[in-house]
Each structure stands twice: as structure tokens, then as C-alpha cells.
């Protein structure tokens, strides 16, 4: 390990300069060929925590890998530097860090489990042990990050800071060095926010007003200048919007590889924060999507009142843009519902439910997407655009169609599919359909014998349902085939960066390798790099002389993500023909595209083929078929399709129940409509249109009372 003689931090040997202050790194002092020993290593604090080795050092103290002796658990222990032991302000700041972090219970905030002071005045904090690297190290080696990766990291950082703001904490020192990325072997990276040592803690006064307690005096400046807000540089009163500004700086750096303001001294940087406008990120990196640049620049407004009010508002705005762009991201975690568990499992003859963990993860990801789609757009067109996965500027030849399923009560003599008033409520309907009519996971797909399931995306911009490969990574590859195999190993573990590198190496050694082109396309697709993925899929198809069903399907899927419906349909048709007409997922996706283009009869035909090729069991396709049949005014057939969707989900299909309620109400079956609406609200108690449904229920109950 190397260390910075100015700030004392340690870094890996592949760095030359300190990322924080630019000082050239040095090797540790040695005695007789060995690094000088740390007197604290091997010591046991309060008969509980044995310090096993130093992990790093900061301005106030060092962090050690330690063992909790009572429960034999590895932990991290941060020890206050002894030169600060007599400094009451430093000790209070240390206690503040423990208290602030201890108040948070969030996946993306480091967990503090203990705080103590030994008899010889050694002050320490005990935290969870993290394995990985800081965002500062990542940026020093790999910046700028691609949009999908940067967004994924920032969403998690913002989630932790939002939790802090909700707990009355303003961090005040957000920077890449205080953000840690934990790389787990079987899951995407998890981001942790650290170091609440100079945080402001908000408590209640006796008069009920909020009071901000801080160790610094008024009009003082504290923090890291490159990431400080204008009001922080001016020593003014801080609000959560100050942390939002810091998040904007960090996001700017992830996307461009540099911070917006630099200078020869901290004061020079602080003056720029207060007086200069940041250079637009797209002037530095023109591959940054316009909507992400908008999010960054909004967070960097000089006036705190013009920024998002807190990290929660910033995160919601960023999440909305990520959904619009179709970026894969780790937006958070949610508890699985019973419906998710049933969908992700198989019921044995004895009645036991065997859960497929990968399918459960996929269902949870799809559910999170649906919840956010329901309130993200401002207009009908924007909401449809998001729901169908279209880009922000779809080609003019592909107008965003509206899935006109009504939700409001209509006048009695007017058919609900003809009533112009229905069109005004389309936005609410689209949200109901989002979980099914989006480009989401297709868990029911059973590929034909001619298609390798691992070659196809299924219904996701992520790996298929195959479980992560067990064991360690294959040995260091030498041939194209070995690089391809190791790439498949990393891909199964969702390490798309390393998978991409191995597939590229395989193609370097063997340029004509269609399977590697296809797999490389899938890795790029998983990272949100659609244009590059399309090129790889087309190369794979070309090298197979136009007969590669999985690559043709993947090409269609990617084009569908980009809103190129015409070419996506052609690709799906080619996949179907190459596969010998047996490719249910290609039929399903074609059905959704045709539905969005208002080609209802063709959509219904494609969805029927998907259902047939899945042995009749495909609730998603049944539901979409019901939509297409309603548009064709085939009410009886639509009822059967919605009912089949409900039955195949064991009754747990809230959106299908809702549409059945509409259908029954319009066909003068009030008792049936009443039942379906009640089931819908039971299964979806937090429905965004709950008030409308309750109005329908009251009207139906009054009618039933009058009839009786």
C-alpha cells in the first residue's frame, strides 16, 4: 500500500498521486525491510474487539480490520488519533459521527454498532466491515463512468442521504472518498455512505422549533472545498439542499471524470462555487444523455431554493430520468409480495412452494419499476413513452400509442371504448398496465430446443433466469474459448464490466466468433449501451448467415427499448423464422409492439401464438390479449382472456380484476363489477386510483340497494 504524506490516506499501488490533493504517493517507512509496525495491531479494546490490521487512515484517525471476540465476527474499528484525545472538539466530532450513523438504518449507509472509550482514553467506533473500494479509487482508475453505472451509484448514494435528511441529519462532507462500493459475488455492487463526523444533527427545541447543532461557529467554512455548496463556502445556514449540491458535484465527476470547479487553493475553489456557472457536462462528454445533464445542473443551482429540496427529491428526479432512458440501475430494495413469491416459484404436488431466487429478484425489479412509473410523468404522452420503454426523442415515424383502457365511470348509453372522455384518463390506465406491457422480465418463457436460454435476454436488460455459476472464476484464460467461458462466468454473476472485457478479448483472438458477439451484446445491453449492443447482435447474425434466433431476438429486444418498433418487429419475425416458428417470447414481444401501434388484430394473433407455444399458460400474454380484444370490441373474448390471466395467477392479478370490473360495469353486470373492484382494492390497497374505484363502488352499492 502507498500513502499520501499530506493527508495520510492509504491507496493501492497502481495509483501515483493522491486523488484528494494531488500529492505524489509514497511507500510506507521501512525498518530492516519491513513496514514499521502499528502498536495498536493485536490490541484488544474493552475485552471485545481485537485489532487485526490497518485498513486505512484519515484526518482524524485510522480504521482497522478487527474481530468481535464474543461472537467471532469481523468488524471495522475506527480509532481516534491520539493527538486529538485532549481536543474536546475532535472527540465530540467523533461521538457525533457515531451518533449520526447510529441513527440511520439504511442499506446504503454504513452501520455503526458500538462506540467506546478505553481506560487509557482510546476512543473508537465499531462499524460493519466493508469489502471493496472507495468511489474515489474507482474514479481515479476508471472515470468517466458510463451513464448507467454512474446513475446506479448515485441512486444508492442519494437513497442513503435521503434517509439521513429524514432523520434530521445533514452530512456536510459528501465526496467520493466518503462513498464506498461493496462488490458482492452474487449480486450487483452496493454503495455505502460513510463519515458523518461533521454532520449537523437536528433536534427539537423546547419551543418546538428545529435547531441545528454544530461544532463550528457561525460564518465558518468546513468540508471539502471541491464538493461544498455555495452557502457552505459562505458559512451560511445550511439546509438539506446543501447536500444536494454535493451530490450534483459527485454525479458531475462520475459522468465527466472531473469536478466542475478547480483552483490553486481551497479559497479559489470556494469563490468559484459562489460565483461561476459550471461548464455543461455534455461539453466535456457528449455521450451523457441530455436528461441526466439536466438533473446535474439543477442540483448545481447557486440558489439553494432552486435545487431539489432534499436528497429524496433529487433521487426521485434522477430515478424518473433513469426509467425514461431505460438504464439498468439498483434503485433500492423492497420486500417480495406473495404474488411475487408465487410467480417466482413452482408448487409441488404436496402443496409446497419452491422459490426460484433469480426469478424472485426479477419480479422484485419489475415491481419497483411499476411503482415508479405510476406517478412519474406529467403528461399522457410522457407516461406512455416511459411505459413502453421509448427514448426521450422517439423517431417521428413511431408515434407513442395509447392503450385506451378506461378507468372512469361512463354515461350509461355510451360504450366505454368509444367515449372521448375515456382518452383523458389514459395516463392512469397505463400505470396499471406497466408491469405487463413494459419491456420487463419474461419468466414464463420456455425456449425451444433450438435456442440456448443463456443466449437470450428473455424479458430483461440483464441475464436470463440461469443461476449464477458456482465456484471460483475459471483459471487465467489463454484461448478465445477460455475467455468466452470466463466471460460467461462473470456474466452469470452480473459482473458485466469484466464479462465485457473477456468477450472482447475472445473476439480479439478469434474475430469470427458469433456466440461471443451475441454475449458481448448482452453485456453492453445490461449496461444500457444500446447502440453498441445492436452492432454486436448484427455481427453475430451476419456471421451465422442470418440464422441466429437468439441474437435476432436480442436485436429486436434492444431496438424495442430504443423505440424502433418497425425494425424490432422485423428482428422478432426473423428470430421466429430462424427458430422454426417456435419462439413464444418473440411472439409475445411482437404482440406488445403491435398493440402499441394500434394494430390490434395482428397483436391478438401474435399473443395467441405466444400462449399456444407456452402450453396455454401465460398470464401476461392473456392479459395483453384481453387489452387487444377490447380494442376490437370483442367483449366476451376479452372477458375470457382476463379471466384466464386471473386464474393462472391463482386469483392474484390486481390489474386483471380491475379491467374485469370495468367490463362488467359497462355490460350491466353490477354485482360482478362490485366483486372485481373489491378484489382489486384488496390486492392493491395503495392503488393510485383508489379514490376513483371507491367512487365506482359507492355508486354500484347505491344501485344494488335501489334495485333491492
What are the cell numbers at 67? Answer: 474481530
Interatomic CA distance for residues 399 and 393, integer angstroms: 10
Give how far Cα 210 sits from Cα of 105, 171, 202, 203, 337, Å: 22, 17, 6, 6, 38
Q: DSSP readout, 282-350?
A: HHH-TTS-HHHHHHHHHHT-SSGGGS-SSHHHHHHHHHHHHHHHT--------PPPHHHHHHTEEE-TT
The answer to whether the beta carbons of residues 196 and 101 sit under 8 Å apart is yes
Residues 6+ apart with CB under 8 A from 58: 7, 8, 9, 195
Q: DSSP readout, 59-127?
A: SSEEEEEEEETTTTEEEEEEEE-GGGTT-HHHHHHHHHHHHHHHH---TTBPPEEEEEE-TT--EEEEE
Residues 6+ apart with CB under 8 A from 648: 617, 618, 619, 622
DSSP for residue 170: E
Catalytic residue among 38, 47, 72, 173: 173
- List residues bridging with 49 in a β-sheet: 45, 68
The answer to whether the beta carbons of residues 489 and 469 sit under 8 Å apart is yes
Q: Which residues of 255-272 are buried (b: 16+ CB within 10 A; e: fewer)?
A: bbebbbbeeeeeeebbbb
Q: Can the peptide bond before residue 648 be classed as cis, meaning omega within 30 degrees of 0?
A: no
Interatomic CA distance for residues 494 and 492, integer angstroms: 5
Nearest-CA neighbor of 406 among 630, 214, 167?
630
Query: φ, ψ for residue 8 (rounded to 5)?
Result: 85, 0
Radius of gyration (C-alpha) of the chain in whole angstroms:
28
- List residues bridging with 74 in a β-sheet: 67
Interatomic CA distance for residues 400 and 157, integer angstroms: 33
Decide if 605 is catalytic: no
What are the cell numbers at 680? Answer: 382489486
Residues 6+ apart with CB under 8 A from 197: 60, 93, 94, 96, 97, 173
Report the Cα 604 to chain-centroid distance in Å.
Answer: 33
Interatomic CA distance for residues 387 and 627, integer angstroms: 15
Please list the alpha-helical segments (H only) found in 477-599.
480-492, 496-509, 514-526, 530-543, 549-562, 565-578, 584-596
Sheet holding 169-170, edge to edge: 169-170, 200-204, 210-213
Half-sphere exposure of residue 700: CA atoms within 13 angstroms, side-chain side: 24
- List residues bridging with 3 in a β-sheet: 10, 26
Both ends of the chain: CA-CA distance in Å? 84
Interatomic CA distance for residues 299 and 700, integer angstroms: 48
Helix (H, G, I), strand (E, B) or coil at 268: helix
Give how far Cα 605 sits from Cα of 588, 613, 640, Å: 10, 12, 15
Half-sphere exposure of residue 254: CA atoms within 13 angstroms, side-chain side: 28
Q: What number of residues does the chain have? A: 708
Please list the active-site residues.
173
Amino acid at each position: 500500500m502507498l500513502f499520501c504524506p499530506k493527508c495520510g490516506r492509504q491507496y493501492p499501488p497502481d495509483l501515483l498521486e493522491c486523488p484528494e490533493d494531488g500529492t505524489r504517493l509514497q511507500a510506507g517507512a521501512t525498518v530492516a525491510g519491513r513496514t514499521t509496525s502499528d502498536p495498536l495491531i493485536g490490541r484488544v479494546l474493552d475485552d471485545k474487539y481485537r485489532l487485526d490490521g490497518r485498513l486505512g487512515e484519515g484526518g482524524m484517525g485510522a480504521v482497522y480490520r478487527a474481530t468481535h471476540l464474543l461472537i467471532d465476527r469481523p468488524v471495522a474499528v475506527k480509532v481516534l488519533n491520539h493527538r486529538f484525545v485532549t481536543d474536546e472538539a475532535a472527540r465530540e466530532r467523533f461521538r457525533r459521527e457515531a451518533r449520526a450513523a447510529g441513527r440511520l438504518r439504511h442499506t446504503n449507509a454504513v452501520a455503526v454498532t458500538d462506540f467506546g472509550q478505553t481506560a487509557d482514553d482510546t476512543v473508537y467506533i465499531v462499524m460493519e466491515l466493508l469489502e471493496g473500494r472507495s468511489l474515489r479509487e474507482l474514479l481515479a482508475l476508471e472515470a468517466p463512468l458510463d451513464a448507467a453505472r454512474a446513475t446506479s451509484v448515485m441512486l444508492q448514494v442519494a437513497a442513503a442521504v435521503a434517509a439521513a435528511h429524514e432523520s434530521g441529519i445533514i452530512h456536510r462532507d459528501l465526496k467520493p472518498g466518503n462513498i464506498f462500493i461493496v462488490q458482492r459475488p452474487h449480486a450487483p455492487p452496493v454503495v455505502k455512505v460513510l463519515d458523518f463526523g461533521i454532520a449537523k444533527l437536528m433536534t427539537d427545541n423546547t419551543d418546538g422549533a428545529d435547531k441545528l447543532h454544530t461544532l463550528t461557529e457561525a460564518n465558518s467554512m468546513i468540508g471539502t472545498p471541491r464538493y461544498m455548496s455555495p452557502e457552505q463556502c459562505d458559512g451560511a445556514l445550511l439546509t438539506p439542499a446543501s447536500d444536494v449540491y454535493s451530490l450534483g458535484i459527485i454525479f458531475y465527476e462520475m459522468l465527466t471524470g472531473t469536478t466542475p470547479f478547480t483552483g490553486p487553493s481551497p479559497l479559489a475553489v470556494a469563490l468559484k462555487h459562489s460565483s461561476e456557472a459550471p461548464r455543461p457536462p455534455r461539453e466535456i462528454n457528449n455521450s451523457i444523455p441530455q436528461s441526466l445533464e439536466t438533473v446535474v445542473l439543477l442540483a448545481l443551482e447557486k440558489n439553494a431554493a432552486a435545487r431539489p429540496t432534499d436528497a429524496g427529491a433529487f433521487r426521485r428526479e434522477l430515478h424518473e430520468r433513469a426509467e425514461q432512458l431505460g438504464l439498468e440501475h439498483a434503485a433500492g430494495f423492497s420486500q417480495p409480495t406473495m404474488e411475487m413469491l408465487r410467480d417466482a416459484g413452482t408448487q409441488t404436488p404436496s402443496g409446497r412452494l419452491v422459490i426460484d431466487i433469480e426469478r424472485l429478484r426479477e419480479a422484485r425489479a419489475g415491481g419497483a419499476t411499476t411503482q415508479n412509473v405510476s406517478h412519474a410523468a406529467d403528461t399522457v404522452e410522457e407516461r406512455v413513452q416511459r411505459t413502453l420503454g421509448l427514448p426521450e426523442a422517439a423517431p417521428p415515424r413511431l408515434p407513442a400509442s395509447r392503450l385506451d383502457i378506461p378507468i372512469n365511470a361512463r354515461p350509461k348509453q355510451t360504450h366505454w371504448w368509444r367515449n372521448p372522455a375515456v382518452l383523458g384518463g389514459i395516463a392512469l390506465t397505463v400505470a396499471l398496465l406497466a408491469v405487463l406491457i413494459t419491456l420487463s422480465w419474461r419468466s414464463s418463457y420456455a425456449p425451444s430446443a433450438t435456442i440456448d436460454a443463456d443466449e437470450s435476454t428473455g424479458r430483461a436488460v440483464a441475464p436470463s433466469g440461469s443461476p449464477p455459476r458456482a465456484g471460483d472464476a475459471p483459471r487465467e484464460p489463454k484461448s478465445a474459448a477460455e475467455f468466452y467461458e470466463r466471460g460467461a462466468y462473470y456474466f452469470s454473476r452480473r459482473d458485466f464490466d469484466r464479462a465485457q472485457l473477456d468477450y472482447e478479448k475472445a473476439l480479439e483472438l478469434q474475430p469470427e466468433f458469433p456466440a461471443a458477439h451475441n454475449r458481448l451484446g448482452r453485456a453492453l445491453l445490461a449496461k444500457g449501451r444500446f447502440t453498441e449492443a445492436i452492432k454486436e447482435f448484427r455481427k453475430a447474425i451476419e456471421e451465422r448467415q442470418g440464422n441466429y434466433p437468439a441474437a435476432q431476438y436480442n436485436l429486436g429486444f434492444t431496438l424495442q427499448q430504443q423505440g424502433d418498433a418497425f425494425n424490432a418487429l422485423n428482428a422478432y419475425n426473423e428470430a421466429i423464422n430462424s427458430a422454426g416458428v417456435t419462439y413464444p417470447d418473440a411472439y409475445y414481444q411482437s404482440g406488445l409492439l403491435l398493440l402499441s401501434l394500434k394494430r390490434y388484430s395482428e397483436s391478438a394473433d401474435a399473443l395467441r401464438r405466444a400462449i399456444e407455444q407456452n402450453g396455454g399458460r401465460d398470464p401476461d400474454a392473456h392479459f395483453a390479449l384481453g387489452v387487444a380484444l377490447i380494442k376490437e370490441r370483442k367483449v366476451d373474448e376479452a372477458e375470457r382472456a382476463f379471466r384466464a390471466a386471473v386464474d393462472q395467477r391463482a386469483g392474484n392479478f390486481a390489474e386483471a380484476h380491475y379491467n374485469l370490473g370495468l367490463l362488467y360495469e359497462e355490460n350491466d353486470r353490477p354485482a360482478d363489477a362490485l366483486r372485481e373492484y373489491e378484489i382489486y382494492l384488496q390486492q392493491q390497497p395503495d392503488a393510485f386510483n383508489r379514490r376513483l374505484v371507491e367512487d365506482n363502488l359507492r355508486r354500484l352499492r347505491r344501485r344494488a340497494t335501489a334495485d333491492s
